[in-house]
Structure 1
């Protein structure tokens, strides 16, 4: 038996773990533990991976017994999650010399299997590849965040990963499926945290500070939006090749300051160009306040795909769209705030002619004398687009500098020239909102929505303005349009229900809360429906929903 200087103390190459798994090679190590390649001697030496946690289970007998039970729960939960194609399979677990270990599927060697960390080290990824991989990551995390199961009579609803980072995401080259994603280490951060806290060996942060959310750095209770923030850091890194923050020191205090107080490095200061629409989605993920992030991984996935379509369409046009320094709307918050915040939703743009049609038309023109056509004066529509371009660009620039009055003037000039300019309407609405002219903002967003009825930006921004005006009838109308566009959004239904409560239309409010609960049985939705039942004069149902809400909180 030979030892490996890189491996964990007490574990050596050739050693048999759990009376079954023979360690054959050291693979990698990190803050949570070390990973070995091993052979399953009971299954014809099938190759597996074994992760051994650094922290051993030694100490007070009762404490250790409790921690073993918790570790086993986390391991079994990881095994359940591994049934999803985007999450690594955990096939066994146990203790070896009081060291907890997990047995996982072996993903293969490079180049078939590589960590995202190694891929990013080679430079930024193309936007199309980033979105293709990110939607798979979102798919796996959405499954974890919404899973409902029972382990040893303990009801579990939703699992937060807590340690999303490039080294916990592997890319697998599959001949049939193409490049696929596997998410690693579900439950490992939580299990290690439980062990450290109970044994008193560490009372602080557990995770990876480079990718941790502000609330995780502060030691607060976490929900799915913490993983969204961490994935936002990863997405920024995938698109640019670097991290979104540069702390003064690479220490916990340095990263605490960065995540809680520093703004991300602006995309437009970096050499790698990133489509504006994708910038907005990533920046929304990196919002300091979790309420300002996308509501779920499904919402984030939808936003990323819509942003990529936007970028593809915009590559065929001339004008720049949403200001680089202005966040677009985000997905709905879990409850309607007293003062609305900026929300990010997928952007939709006017469709362009199909590429094949454009190519075919060009060939035909050349065949009949394309030189004559190209030498003719610019058509009126093109002249209008060219003439509004400088006004929109200048208006965007003024907006970014905080000169909202100047932005309104320039964008007004663009609208005077081209009343159907979607971007001029949208950006002037944003500027009017900043000036407190909420009615004017409503008018611009309404005009924009008539031009582009499937562009969710206009409805989410108009909802913000309607909230400022305390026009809850307008709010319900805006949310109805968003529900039309995103029928599976529980959060939009919940927000509309809250607006109906303000209107004292408790019947419709209860119907919306019920629909939200059917889509996603979150504690907040039960509490909101409880309030509506109470106001409707039905205390029995109000109490039932209140109890359901408390139960949902307890199982989270």
Structure 2
């Protein structure tokens, strides 16, 4: 049976279609934006039974917080409009996200580690944005979500990222400028002890909820089991019950000890015992993820619920060393991107031909990645890798990616997903075989930028006649950047030497 509001036109613009979701505070409709060619959006209404001035104010604040955060991070749902209908009922308009919630994706069973790390990285980036704060009336104010749980995380298919994860529902979010207790609000199964007490909260309340959710993602079970599924039951569990250990869960898991440690730290009963920021959590997860082949070992162990040995390491190195210089490329000092298949995934690589003396000079050095982007007139990315010894001895390797070509688009996607790359080096004086490889990492702050540029490029038109103009702009920006980049690298090297 169709909803009574089906086909209703809001403010002469949004035509309501079917109900997309319901909650305690109201409901969300799928709608057409008739002003913009019928693009599908989501419209959230307040429930008539809940309406009063306090709820109206909170609803408008939810829209404002989401709008400001959505502009800062691709991992938070974007709000596009706010208004009231002809019956004075407030509503706001969001991007329509067709996907599944994290609750649906988990299916009450352990999640493979590669997927866990990918989802958690994106969730942490969204939360990090909220905790860093938004500017209201000239002041930056931190935002505590207060309702982090699987049903408030949505996963949507994305052509560039594969799966894009977004944090939803800032309906009970707390602005840290509100420094007085507000009473209990939240979902009891995921709330911190101090939140159950109705105390003043900071970002560590969200970190506790994150810990509960991580345990559930890794095991398929909640870490706490109250005697009764009531507020009092959960209150007692969060305050006094010791969370399950990973060894107590039904599935036999082969998890890195460091991963279990960070999850347990997040679930500490007192806020001071938890990580101080979601950035700290993200950094630890990134370090764990980069340990070779742990993720694959965990995925294999889930097949039969038995712990299996990790596969042989260094397979990436072995595959890269088998690379042969393409016959259609000149033997010259050139640089170009290439994707290499590895264990059903792809690795972003930069193929480089240099003199043998230069290769020997830099082969043991850590590369430094820098990225520049122009979205118009044609979306292009400059992937700049610098090999550095001293201010006088460094080599910059610029690689231009046309983001409207499959190789450019896919290379950017792999860089954002893996956060790593390989330099494949060939000698001018040698044969066609690879001489050596050098592993590089993309810093987390740059991964976020790459994701935003990737989405922007998808929405930009392809103007192939303007490729040279975009490339020229990038070259000019690179020339102005070079002195600053060399000085920055010199400071980093000096600081490491002092330590």
Which category describes the TM-score, using the shorter chain as reference length? 0.5 to 0.7
Shift of 1:171: 0.8
The aligned runs of 1:482-497 (5 Å cut-off) are: none
Equivalent position to 2:76, from 84, 87, 97: 87
Q: Provide the rounded CA distance (Å) in 2 between the counterparts of 1:172 and 1:315.
A: 24
Shift of 1:182: 1.1
CA pair 182-224 structure 1, distance change in 2 beyond 3 A: same
Give TM-score, length-normalised by structure 2.
0.55
The structure richer in helix per residue is 1
The aligned runs of 1:125-204 (5 Å cut-off) are: 125-150=111-136, 153=137, 155-186=139-170, 188-190=171-173
CA pair 3-356 structure 1, distance change in 2 beyond 3 A: closer
* 1:104-126 alpha-carbon deviations (Å, 9 max, x no partner): 10012xxxx11111111263211
Q: Provide the rounded CA distance (Å) in 2 between the counterparts of 1:31 and 1:87.
A: 21
Q: Provide the rounded CA distance (Å) in 1 between the counterparts of 2:185 and 2:223.
A: 21
Which of the pair has more CA radius of gyration?
1
The alignment partner of 1:210 has SS state of helix
The aligned runs of 1:142-541 (5 Å cut-off) are: 142-150=128-136, 153=137, 155-186=139-170, 188-190=171-173, 205-270=184-249, 271-275=251-255, 276-310=257-291, 312=293, 354-355=314-315
CA pair 100-220 structure 1, distance change in 2 beyond 3 A: farther
* 1:397-438 alpha-carbon deviations (Å, 9 max, x no partner): xxxxxxxxxxxxxxxxxxxxxxxxxxxxxxxxxxxxxxxxxx
Q: How many residues align structurally?
A: 302
Shift of 1:269: 1.5
Shift of 1:164: 0.9
Q: Provide the rounded CA distance (Å) in 2 between the counterparts of 1:55 and 1:222.
A: 30
The alignment partner of 1:42 has SS state of helix
The aligned runs of 1:26-37 (5 Å cut-off) are: 26-37=19-30
Tell which has more relative contact order, 1 or 2 (C-alpha 8 A, sep 6+). Answer: 2
Q: Which residue of 1 aligns with 2:40?
A: 47
The alignment partner of 1:80 has SS state of helix
The structure richer in strand per residue is 2
Q: Which residue of 1 aligns with 2:476?
A: none
Q: Provide the rounded CA distance (Å) in 1 between the counterparts of 2:210 and 2:314.
A: 34
Unaligned runs of 5+ in 1: 5-10, 198-202, 317-351, 362-485, 489-556
Shift of 1:15: 2.7
Contact 1:247 1:255 in 2 (8 A): yes
Shift of 1:278: 1.3
* 1:26-62 alpha-carbon deviations (Å, 9 max, x no partner): 1222334322111122222221112223366755xxx
Q: Which residue of 2 aligns with 1:477?
A: none
Shift of 1:272: 4.1
Equivalent position to 1:15, from 8, 27, 32: 8
Contact 1:93 1:102 in 2 (8 A): yes
Unaligned runs of 5+ in 2: 298-311, 322-442, 446-499
CA pair 312-291 structure 1, distance change in 2 beyond 3 A: farther
Shift of 1:256: 1.0
